[in-house]
Amino acid sequence: MHIRVINPNTTHAMTETIGEAAKAVAAPGTRITASQPDSGPVSIESHFDEAVSALGVVEEVRAGEREGTDAYIIACFGDPGLYAARELTRAPVIGIAEAAFHVASLISTRFSVVTTLPRTLIIAEHLLDNYGFRHSCRRLRAADIPVLDLEENPDIALERIIDECLKAKREDNIGAIVLGCGGMADLTPQISDAVGLPVVEGVTAAVKLAEAVVGLGLGTSKFGDLAFPGSKRFTGRFAEYSDLAHG
Domains of the chain: 2-96+205-241 (3.40.50.12500), 97-202 (3.40.50.12500)
**pTM summary value:** 0.95
The Cβ-side half-sphere exposure at 71, using a 13 Å CA radius, reads 26
pLDDT tens for each residue of 170-228: 999 999 999 999 999 999 999 999 999 999 999 999 999 999 999 999 999 999 999 99
Distance CA 149, CA 151 (A): 5
Helix ranges, the chain (H): 12-25, 47-66, 82-87, 96-107, 120-131, 149-152, 154-171, 188-195, 202-215
Distance (Å, rounded) from C-alpha 75 to C-alpha 35? 10
**CA angle in degrees (0–180, nearest 5) for 106-73-245:** 120
**Average pLDDT along the chain:** 96
Helix axes 96-107, 120-131, angle to 10 degrees: 70
CB 96 within 8 A of CB 203: yes
